[in-house]
């Protein structure tokens, strides 16, 4: 089969790989029909996750590449002997988080820290979805039956981008009706925070980014205010928009120190700073200023425990996640898709879809 394979820093190759096989009785093999590229995939390519190679070498003595990707939809091709909820021919959404469902952490819905070899492993510790076929561990707990009235593009976003935004950004940020919210970073996850945050009826949503095209898109999707932080002082502008009080919730959706710094300066007393961005380096944490304002600061890896709820909301027409998909490529053009996603601002790209 064809697959997009990571071999090291800035080294990804579109090549032939063996088709996956059932290893555990709880596995399923999925024939992929649509996948996408996540910012995490770009982070891996840039060397953010050297543990991929290190872990492989520790376990097997060598590293023979890792198929990227942890999002997508497809058709069940084969199931292990213990799989009860799915059969060959079923159309499914693949969760980015694999979960056994029985360990101590899974019983607490802390699925990203499954103790039996689950969590975020696909496209990371095991081969992922940017291939014609993928093996999904713990299939009964890690796949979702695809509803007839679900848009396929929304289905792909339900794998990761939407639940990540909703759980780590909006829920951890305790967004409530009437709240004022600032989202720093108008990429796919930041936009996912906007779309899912609107479900909680905040009175004001301020989107902050350096890309005017993305800010215009944010306004179309429901942001009440936008700030181009490359052209004006974002902190001063937020204070101006909030009568110098700050916001109830600031969501960091980039993963770099400048965006973190904006967030820790704009939260009002008693508010929340919710970090969704994946940071590759330390940031300056102004605890000497933050403690006195009784702030709650949260971060985390998605557990995908709200995927089912978000799926129903997409099917109802109240959550138009498909609007985040701006480009579509055939699988043979996945290298071009990566190039477009790497240069998203120049290409006016948000989320790229890849059809198999």
Domain identity same for 27 and 150: yes
Mean pLDDT is lowest, of 47-51, 128-132, 195-199, 337-341, for 47-51
Which stretch of DSSP H or E encloses residue 43? helix 39-45
Q: Are 171 and 304 in contact (CB under 8 A)?
A: no
Domain identity same for 44 and 167: no
Number of neighbouring beta carbons within 10 Å of residue 333 = 15
Task: Give the model confidence (pLDDT) of 215-246 as tens digits.
Answer: 999 999 999 999 999 999 999 999 999 999 99
| Mean pLDDT score across all residues of the chain | 97
What mean pLDDT is predicted for residues 301-311? 97
**133, β-bridge pairs:** 31
**What confidence tier does 4 reach under pLDDT thresholds 50, 70, 90?**
very high
Task: Give the model confidence (pLDDT) of 83-112 as tens digits.
Answer: 999 999 999 999 999 999 999 999 999 999
Domain that holds residue 288: 162-299
**β pairing state of 28-36 and 351-355:** antiparallel
Count of domains for the chain: 2
How many Å apart are CA 239 and CA 91, to the nearest integer? Answer: 48
Domain identity same for 70 and 217: no
What mean pLDDT is predicted for residues 329-337? 98
**What confidence tier does 48 reach under pLDDT thresholds 50, 70, 90?**
confident
Following CA atoms 294, 299, 304, 306 in sequence, which dihedral angle do they give, to the nearest 10 degrees? Answer: 20
pLDDT at site 280: 83
Domain identity same for 234 and 284: yes
Domain identity same for 49 and 143: yes
Instruction: Compute the residue count for the chain.
Output: 356
What CATH number does the domain containing 284 carry? 3.40.50.720
Q: Is the pLDDT at 59 greater than 90, yes or no?
A: no
How many Å apart are CA 81 and CA 24, to the nearest integer? Answer: 9
Q: Is the pLDDT at 128 greater than 90, yes or no?
A: yes
Domain identity same for 166 and 153: no
Task: Give the model confidence (pLDDT) of 288-305 as tens digits.
Answer: 999 999 999 999 999 999
Domain identity same for 106 and 223: no
pLDDT at site 176: 98
Domain identity same for 184 and 310: no
Per-residue burial over 46-73, b = 16 or more CB atoms within 10 Å of its CB, e = otherwise: eebbeebbeebeeeeeebebbbbbbbbb
Task: Give the model confidence (pLDDT) of 264-284 as tens digits.
Answer: 999 999 999 999 999 988 999
Q: Is the pLDDT at 208 greater than 90, yes or no?
A: yes
For 173, the 3-state DSSP assignment is coil
Q: Is the pLDDT at 194 greater than 90, yes or no?
A: yes
Per-residue burial over 112-139, b = 16 or more CB atoms within 10 Å of its CB, e = otherwise: bbbebebbbbbbbbbbbbbbbbbbbbbb
Please identify, among 299, 321, 336, the residue that sits at the C-terminal boundary of a domain: 299
Domain identity same for 143 and 23: yes
Q: Are 102 and 57 in contact (CB under 8 A)?
A: no
- Token digits of residue 216: 């215009």
How many Å apart are CA 175 and CA 84, to the nearest integer? Answer: 37
CA 281, 211, 259 angle in degrees (round to 5)?
Answer: 30
**34, β-bridge pairs:** 73, 355
Q: Are 197 and 205 in contact (CB under 8 A)?
A: yes
Which stretch of DSSP H or E encloses residue 161? helix 161-164
Q: Are 144 and 156 in contact (CB under 8 A)?
A: no
Per-residue burial over 235-259, b = 16 or more CB atoms within 10 Å of its CB, e = otherwise: bebbbebbeeebbbbbbbbbbbeeb
Kindly state the percentage of the chain with pLDDT values over 90. Answer: 96
How many Å apart are CA 350 and CA 345, to the nearest integer? Answer: 9
Domain identity same for 11 and 108: yes
What CATH number does the domain containing 8 carry? 3.90.180.10
First to last CA, the chain: 11
Domain identity same for 191 and 252: yes
Please identify, among 280, 299, 318, the residue that sits at the C-terminal boundary of a domain: 299
Please identify, among 282, 299, 316, the residue that sits at the C-terminal boundary of a domain: 299
Q: Are 144 and 312 in contact (CB under 8 A)?
A: no
Q: Is the pLDDT at 249 greater than 90, yes or no?
A: yes
Q: Which of 92, 119, 80, 90 is nearest to 103 (CA)?
A: 119
Domain identity same for 166 and 154: no
291: CB partners within 8 A, 6+ apart: none
- Token digits of residue 46: 């840039």
Q: Are 130 and 159 in contact (CB under 8 A)?
A: no
């Amino acid at each position: 089969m064809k697959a997009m394979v990571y071999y090291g820093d800035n080294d990804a190759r579109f090549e032939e790989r063996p088709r996956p096989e059932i290893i555990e009785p709880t596995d399923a093999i999925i024939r992929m029909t649509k996948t996408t590229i996540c910012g995490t995939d770009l982070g891996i390519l840039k060397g953010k996750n050297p543990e991929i190679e290190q872990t492989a070498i520790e376990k097997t003595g060598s590293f023979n590449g890792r198929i990227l990707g942890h999002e997508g939809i497809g058709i069940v091709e084969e199931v292990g002997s213990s799989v009860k909820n799915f059969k060959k021919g079923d159309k499914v959404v693949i969760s980015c988080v694999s979960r056994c469902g029985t360990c101590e952490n899974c019983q607490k819905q802390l699925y990203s820290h499954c103790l039996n070899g689950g969590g975020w492993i696909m496209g990371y510790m095991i081969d992922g979805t940017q291939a014609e076929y993928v093996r999904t561990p713990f299939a009964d707990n890690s796949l979702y039956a695809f509803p007839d009235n679900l848009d396929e593009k929304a289905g792909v976003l339900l794998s990761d981008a939407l639940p990540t935004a909703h759980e780590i950004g909006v829920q951890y940020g305790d967004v409530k009706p009437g709240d004022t919210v600032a989202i720093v970073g108008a990429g796919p996850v930041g936009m996912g925070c906007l779309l899912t945050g609107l479900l909680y009826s905040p009175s004001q949503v301020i989107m902050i980014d350096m890309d005017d095209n993305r800010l215009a898109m944010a306004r179309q999707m429901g942001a009440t205010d936008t700030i181009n932080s490359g052209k004006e002082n974002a902190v001063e502008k937020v204070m101006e928009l909030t009568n110098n009080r700050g916001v109830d919730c600031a969501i960091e959706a980039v993963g770099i120190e400048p965006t973190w710094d904006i967030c820790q300066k704009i939260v009002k007393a008693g508010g929340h700073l919710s970090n969704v961005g994946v940071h590759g380096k330390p940031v300056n944490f102004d605890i000497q200023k933050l403690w006195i304002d009784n702030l709650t600061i949260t971060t985390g890896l998605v557990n995908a425990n709200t995927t089912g709820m978000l799926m129903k909301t997409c099917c109802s027409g109240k959550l138009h996640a498909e609007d985040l998909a701006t480009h579509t490529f055939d699988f043979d053009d996945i290298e071009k898709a990566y190039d477009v996603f790497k240069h998203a601002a120049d290409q006016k790209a948000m989320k790229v879809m890849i059809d198999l």
